[in-house]
Amino acid sequence: MSVGRVRLSVASLPAYRPGKSADQAEQEHGIGDAIKLASNENPYPPAPSVIEAVMGAVSGVNRYPDHLAVELRNAIAAWLGVTSEQVTVGCGSVGLLRQICMAYLDPGDEVVFPWLSFEAYPIAVQTMGAESVAVPLVNHRFDMDAVAAAVTERTKMVLLATPNNPTGTAVSSAAIATLVERIDDDVLVVVDEAYRELADPALGDPVTDLLPHHNNVVVFRTFSKAYGLAGLRSGYAIADPEVIVNLDKLLLPFTNNQLGQVAALAAIGAGDEIRPTLDLLIGERSRVVAALTESGWQLPDAQANFVYLPTGERTSEIYLRLEEQGVVTRPFPGEGIRVTIGSPSENDRFLRALTGVR
């Protein structure tokens, strides 16, 4: 007998699996000194001015935060050159993903996305009783023709993670524009740019390239990855004001926590202070890609803060051999292994551990 009468679509959901922690791996294998390269976290703390702002705000947490995070919205709008009505803030971009699914999906509706992609997508879709339409990658990249062809009258939304998690490949705003022009304009096209700051700027900017021409384009961004604020949960969306109003109706009260708002504001205020960290991560990514390529790996283009090893059938075996050596990565069984770019010494450890495996 089960307790209560859980919704069918929830009962059949898999439990969310966050990346394994270093502590957990140490306990399981009886080792010390494990490192976690499993959750695409920034290995470095936020800018000093951001830390200072957060510390200064801690004593005020007896008060509820501003539910709508108005000051932060205004700052994001000014930063990006859009209006405040085009911006909303959520509990990370995954919070916004939940809100947009709640706002737009009825049971039986379809959501199209390339696959492999972000593991949160099918969960958010299924939660609403809607159906995921997964479009296979070709050579670890999006097949944008196939994505367009998969859109039917039942499609409410297309989800595009660029750079894609876990393969790291990206699509240009020009390629997204072509897709948008091929499908009905009442289908929302969500461009999830969690890793935007690490990608090649030549790919374009959906906010300036697409939003002025297509009111069905929604852009998700976050302070979690490049800005090193994953623990404070500040994500944001830029979209048509009508979409923003609907997302705001479903914002969990006060979920934009006070420290997250303060940190995001300070991160915007810090401007280029983040640049050296980004340059370091991008430089390390190039170094890791070069080392892997030299030892014979054929990798998809890496545009985010991780690399993707197409290990296929050997995925579980290679993942385990790395973990036994204290390097915790993220496996996608039967497909590949995603390895986050860490500090230079962590990246060296990963490269050394992998050499022994192959």
Ligand X SMILES: *Cc1c(COP(=O)(O)O)cnc(C)c1O
Residues that bind ligand X (CB under 6 A): 40, 92-94, 118, 161, 165, 192, 194, 222, 224-225, 230, 235
**Phi/psi at 326 (5° precision):** 85, 15
279: how many CB neighbours lie within 10 A of its CB?
A: 10
CB-nearer residue toward ligand X: 18 or 296: 18
Burial 331-345 (b: 16+ CB within 10 A, else e): bbeebbbbbbbbeee
Q: What contacts 274, CB < 8 A, 6 or more positions away?
A: 47, 197, 226, 227, 267
d(CA 44, CA 31): 24
Q: Which residues contact residue 253 at a Cβ distance below 8 angstroms, ignoring those fewer than 6 apart?
A: 67
Please, are residues 164 and 332 in contact by the beta-carbon 8 Å criterion? no
Tell me if residue 28 falls in helix, strand or coil. helix
C-beta closer to ligand X: residue 126 or 222: 222
> Closest separation between CB of residue 296 and ligand X, Å?
27
| Closer to ligand X by Cβ: residue 92 or 206 | 92
Q: Helical H runs in 144-273?
A: 144-150, 173-182, 206-209, 241-249, 258-269
Question: In angstroms, what is the minimal distance from the CB of 192 to ligand X?
Answer: 5
In the complex with ligand X, which residue's Cβ is closer, 114 or 204?
114
Smaller CB distance to ligand X: residue 194 or 327? 194
The residue whose Cβ lies closest to ligand X is 92
Q: At what angle do helices 48-57 and 258-269 cross, to 10 degrees?
A: 150
For ligand X, the closer of residues 42 and 311 by Cβ is: 42
